[in-house]
Amino acid sequence: MCGLIAVSGTVDSAFEVFVGLMNLQHRGQDGAGILAVDSKRQGGFQLQKGSGLVENVFSERTFKNLRGTAALGHSRYATIGRDDPNLLQPFLDYPLGVGLGHNGNIVNFYQLRQELFPDDKLHSDSELILRLLAKGLPDQELNPTTVFNAIRQAMDVLVGSYSVACVTKNGDIFGFRDPHGIRPLVFGIKTNEAQEKVSALCSETVALDFLGYEIVDDLKPGEAIFIDKEGNVKREVLKTESFSPCMFEWVYFARVESVLEGTSVYNARFSLGCLLAEQIKERGIEADIVVPVPETSRISAVALAETLQLPFRELLIKNRYINRTFILDGQASRQEAVRRKLFPIASEFAGKRCLIVDDSIVRGNTAKQIVKLVRQAGAREVILVSSCPQIAHPCYYGIDFPNAEELVAHNRTDEEIAAELGADQVVFQTVEGLTKALKQKTLCTGCLTGTYPSDVEGGKDFGRMRTQDRELTPVKKHQQLTPSKKDNR
């Protein structure tokens, strides 16, 4: 899972991308990069990227160099390879004249790397996508026809999830979604104060809303879009197999201000809370207070408390300087971050029957630690409530749990899960309730049901090789990278 934004049509493109990335920081904390295109400069491209949060990678001085009429930005959440600065995006193929950012996972990455590029040292599936585009665009002019043909050829061999945004040496931008539409990509336009016609592609509407864009729509599954430097738009659906957006976008990853596939993230999470309340009523569960696990579960917890007419209390206080624990690299780092992230107000828990509401329970690290904290604070009863159904199967599409053994719900009943986490009970959302709340006829629910929208035959190999890659890839010291032209091929 990563954040993408591409902007074309203004000399302030790089700065707009920076502001956009600030609003997409929740999608990836490993590092960030911006690639700007300025045809007036020697070489045309200016690239800067580095490890850490967006505000630490770029400074005011950055935008004296990063100027041009188009730019591409990426915030990284590592799912293939470790937290290695050399894997930060965007990637640039300088001879081709294309920079690329990718959100998702290619399930058959290791197979394609071996079959198609055995002599190349490709360390990530994003590099693979760029190489496939280059293979389909040998010495050709970059225009909608040639680019769409190259994308179509890539789609024919790629299996998995991919939303891709690119920038060309001419100042054009283009993008595409996988044939199942698993990962989001949004198109927006505006006319700025300088009366420039500006276009953008982005992972979420929240970033474009902040920048003043009018949201045109979400790209369709298998759709490609090409926007030239004059703002002319060409769109074409190249290959469609299903409509299967990832349910986890609404449940956890997306900003609450965003709208995905026509459904408000806020409204979806509120509905999830209301539906959970009905379950709790049906089971005859009694409680004294409703407590959210900050931050993502707050809206569902409010809805649940209002429906049950119970007091809503924010009693787990978050240290805001700790990163999102789910997307940290490694079990030990997650557990330590949870311990430092939350602190209970003990006097308010004492003697209470508590409904502790979280957005989801994945590995169980956060849930187990919270139950322990709440019990130590003197709670009489601890009932864990998840606005997401049981995550019992691997995700191969960009969420960082490709191995079933990591999942607390894998091969466990609800009673066994509660015992494992130390809770009195656990209450999970149903798949039917999830679909109803998200207002989508179809979703990718592979991690819930074990039924995936695409072929995942190579999924186990993917999980094994991905783990092996992480073990073999040395963790580099955080550094800021500005690759030279000769390093970009």
Query: Could you tell me if 229 and 307 lie in one domain?
Result: no
Residue 338 lies in a domain: yes
Overall average pLDDT of the 39-66 stretch: 86
Number of domains making up the chain: 2
Residues 292 and 388 in one domain: yes
β-sheet with 223-227: strand ranges across: 91-93, 98-106, 160-168, 173-177, 223-227, 233-237
Q: Is 447 tagged catalytic? A: no
Residue 475 has a pLDDT of: 44
| Residue 255 forms part of a structural domain | no
Q: Using the 8-state DSSP alphabet, how is residue 371 labeled?
A: H
Q: Which of 2, 202, 246, 354 is catalytic?
A: 2
**pLDDT one-digit tens code per residue, 339-387:** 677 889 999 999 999 999 999 999 998 899 999 999 999 999 999 999 9
302 and 264 in a common domain:
yes
Mean pLDDT computed over every residue of the chain: 90
DSSP string computed for 30-58: SEEEEEEE-TTSTTSEEEEEEES-HHHH-
For residues 218 and 117, state if they share a domain. Answer: yes
CA 481 to chain CA mean position, Å: 23
Q: Which of these three, 220, 244, 268, is where a domain ends?
A: 244
- Shared domain for 11 and 98, answered yes or no, is yes
Q: How far separated are the first and last CA of the chain, in Å rounded?
A: 25
- pLDDT tens for 85-116 read 788 999 999 999 999 999 999 999 989 999 99
- Section 266-276 average pLDDT: 98
Give the model's pLDDT for residue 381.
Answer: 98
Name the residue range of residue 234's domain.
3-244
Check pLDDT > 50 for residue 482. Answer: no
User: Are the C-beta atoms of residues 48 and 480 closer than 8 Å to each other?
Assistant: yes
User: Is residue 463 a part of any domain in this protein?
Assistant: no
Same domain, 115 and 32: yes
**pLDDT reported for residue 82:** 56
Domain of 198, CATH number, reads: 3.60.20.10
Query: pLDDT tens digit string along 74-90?
Result: 999 876 555 677 889 99
One domain for residues 94 and 158: yes
Pair 275, 189 in one domain? no
Residues 144 and 283 grouped into a single domain = no
What digits encode the pLDDT tens for the residues 316-346? 998 876 655 554 455 555 555 566 778 899 9
Residues 201 and 294 in one domain: no
Residue 19 is which amino acid? V
Tell me: the pLDDT tens digits for 19-33? 999 999 999 998 999
Query: How far is 226 from 175, CA to CA, in rounded Å?
Result: 7
Q: Give the CATH number, domain containing residue 266.
A: 3.40.50.2020
- Classify residue 118 as exposed, middle or buried by CB count within 10 Å of its CB (0-12, 13-18, 19+): exposed
pLDDT-derived band at 477 (thresholds 50, 70, 90) equals very low
- The beta-carbon contacts of 257-263 under 8 Å, at least 24 apart in sequence, are 257/205, 257/206, 257/209, 258/204, 258/205, 258/206, 259/205, 259/215, 260/184, 260/204, 260/205, 260/218, 261/184, 261/218, 261/440, 262/218, 262/439, 263/438, 263/439, 263/440
The pTM score is 0.90
Q: Which residues contact 361 (CB under 8 A, 6 or more apart)?
A: 367, 384, 386, 388, 390, 391, 408, 409, 417, 421, 426, 428
Domain edge (last residue) among 195, 217, 244: 244
Give residue-wise pLDDT tens across range 406-446: 899 999 999 999 999 999 999 999 999 999 999 999 999 99
Name the 3-class secondary structure at 236.
Answer: strand
Does the pLDDT at position 462 exceed 90?
Answer: no
Query: Looking at the predicted structure, is the pLDDT value of residue 180 above 90?
Result: yes
- Tell me if 352 is assigned to some domain: yes
176 shares its domain with 314: no
Q: Which residue has the tokens 């696990």?
A: 293
Average pLDDT over residues 259-287: 98
Q: What percent of the chain has pLDDT over 70?
A: 88
Q: Give the other-Cβ count within 10 Å of 406's Cβ.
A: 17
What would the pLDDT profile of 232-256 be if each residue is shown by its tens digit?
999 999 999 999 999 999 999 999 9
Do 237 and 296 lie in one domain? The reply is no
Which range has highest mean pLDDT (58-62, 131-135, 191-195, 402-406)?
A: 131-135
Question: Could you tell me if residue 295 is inside a domain?
Answer: yes
Domain membership of residue 456 (yes or no) is: no
- Does residue 252 sit within a domain? no
369 part of a folded domain: yes
SS3 state at 234: strand
Last residue of a domain, one of 180, 210, 244: 244
Least confident segment among 77-81, 116-120, 469-473: 469-473
